[in-house]
């Protein structure tokens, strides 16, 4: 059985949901984070595939929640907003769309382990009409406004340590009404792909110290933020380094850590994936199993 805190970021096809749920239960994996896609503005309850299959992943989150999993889900951000392009104006669009989605979840009775306000949006403020400090203030207000319409789940936000000072900015500002803060300790594989530089681990520990294990979880982790680098690393080293990282996350005090990711987007091939499109496992999935034995996936 796996560590009770282990989870997976999940991007599987609907045809695989039931089978995957059965498999996860069989190994004791209890935490699922379905794909977080961009939310459109203006928001509608039935968003289309052209908006990143938002309604598809909402249905995925609802399914796994109905199966008894602790589900983390929400919008990744506003559609077509990239680094340095979020302004005071489109922030308001985002705010209103997220609150509308939360009201819809309330109307449908969808209970999650955690509803996320967004994912790694810390580099998006334009720095003029919307500074990063104001963005943090806005996110905390969004949590308050969301709780006025959605009472079924805790509220979270998963952040990116943009410029190396985002975590410290959040620590200084406090989490406000954000119940759960998500951190992403990706590694940094050296250019020769032969070892892992554990960059950012002191920052991760600072977040855990500041907010506590009840309010700070790992919503993504892997050996590197580049799947090409992860794929290029020698297989035996990849397994060993994942085992080291996994042990760190458990021993430092996190109660939940969600690996990125179980499969590629809609089960396309992806060097990050734990399960390959042919049904085989990437070897470094073994490092996340407490008995360290290769598992056979039943198709």
Q: Answer whether residue 123 is part of any domain.
A: yes
Query: In the chain, what percentage of residues exceed pLDDT 70?
Result: 94
For residue 291, what pLDDT is reported? Answer: 53
Tell whether 53 is covered by a domain: yes
- Over residues 86-92, the mean pLDDT reads 96
Q: How many domains is the chain built from?
A: 1
Does residue 213 carry a pLDDT above 90? yes
6/255 Cα distance (integer angstroms): 8
Cα–Cα distance measured from residue 227 to residue 111, given in angstroms and rounded to the nearest whole number: 32
Mean pLDDT calculated for residue range 210-234: 92
Q: How far apart are CA 66 and CA 259, in angstroms?
A: 22
Is the separation of the CB atoms in 218 and 254 below 8 Å?
yes
Exposure string of 257-270, with b = 16+ CB inside 10 Å and e = fewer, is bbbbbbbbbebeeb
CA distances to 67, 149, 200, 233 from 193, in Å:
39, 48, 18, 5
- What are the C-alpha distances in Å from 282 to residues 57, 245, 273, 285? 24, 16, 7, 6
Task: Give the tens place of pLDDT for each residue, 101-113.
Answer: 999 999 999 999 9
Domain extent for 84:
6-288
Asked which of 108-117, 154-163, 269-278 is least confident by mean pLDDT, the reply is 269-278
> Is 59 a member of any domain?
yes
pLDDT category at 294 given cuts 50, 70, 90 is very low
Asked if residue 11 belongs to a domain, the reply is: yes
CA pair distance 100, 44, nearest whole angstrom? 8
Note whether residue 297 is domain-resident: no
Q: What is the DSSP letter of 287?
A: G
Whether 127 maps to a domain, the answer reads yes
pLDDT bin (cut points 50, 70, 90) of residue 42 is confident
Q: Is residue 120 part of a domain?
A: yes
pLDDT in the model for residue 48? 54
Q: Which range (2-16, 40-54, 138-152, 260-274) has the least confidence?
A: 40-54
pLDDT band at 292 (very low <50, low <70, confident <90, very high): very low
Whether 72 and 31 have beta carbons less than 8 Å apart is answered as yes
Nearest to 224 by CA among 207, 250, 205, 199: 199
Residue 63: strand, helix, or coil:
helix
Q: What is the DSSP letter of 8?
A: E
Share above pLDDT 90 across residues of the chain, in percent, rounded to a whole number:
73
Mind listing the pLDDT tens digit for each residue in 5-31?
999 999 999 999 999 999 999 999 999
Q: Is residue 295 part of a domain?
A: no
Q: Is the pLDDT of residue 184 over 80?
A: yes
CATH number, domain of 71, equals 3.20.20.80
Q: What is the pLDDT of residue 52?
A: 57
Q: What is the mean pLDDT of residues 141-160?
A: 98
> Taking 70 as the threshold, does the pLDDT of residue 268 lie above it?
yes
């Amino acid at each position: 059985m796996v560590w009770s805190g282990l989870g997976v970021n999940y991007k599987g096809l609907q045809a695989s949901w039931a089978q995957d749920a059965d498999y996860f239960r069989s190994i004791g994996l209890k935490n699922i984070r379905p794909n977080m896609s961009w939310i459109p503005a203006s928001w509608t309850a039935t968003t289309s595939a052209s908006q990143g299959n938002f309604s598809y992943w909402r249905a995925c989150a609802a399914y796994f929640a109905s199966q008894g999993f602790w589900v983390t889900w929400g919008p990744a951000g506003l559609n077509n907003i990239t680094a340095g392009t979020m302004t005071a104006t489109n922030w308001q669009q985002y705010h209103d769309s997220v609150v509308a989605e939360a009201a819809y979840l309330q109307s449908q009775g969808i209970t999650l382990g955690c509803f996320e306000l967004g994912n790694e949006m810390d580099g998006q403020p334009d720095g003029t009409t919307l500074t990063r400090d104001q963005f943090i203030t806005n996110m905390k207000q969004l949590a308050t406004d969301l709780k006025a319409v959605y009472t079924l789940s805790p509220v979270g936000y998963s952040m990116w340590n943009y410029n190396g000072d985002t975590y410290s900015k959040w620590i200084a500002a406090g989490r406000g009404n954000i119940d759960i803060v998500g951190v992403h300790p990706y590694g940094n594989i050296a250019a020769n792909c032969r070892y892992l530089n554990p960059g950012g681990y002191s920052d991760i520990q600072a977040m855990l110290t500041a907010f506590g294990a009840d309010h700070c979880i790992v919503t993504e982790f892997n050996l590197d933020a580049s799947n090409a680098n992860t794929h290029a690393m020698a297989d035996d080293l990849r397994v060993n380094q994942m085992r080291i990282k996994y042990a760190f996350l458990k021993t430092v005090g996190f109660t939940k850590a969600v690996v990125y990711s179980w499969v590629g987007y809609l089960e396309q091939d992806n060097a990050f994936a734990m399960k390959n499109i042919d049904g085989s496992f990437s070897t470094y999935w073994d490092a996340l199993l407490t008995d360290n034995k290769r598992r056979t996936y039943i198709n």
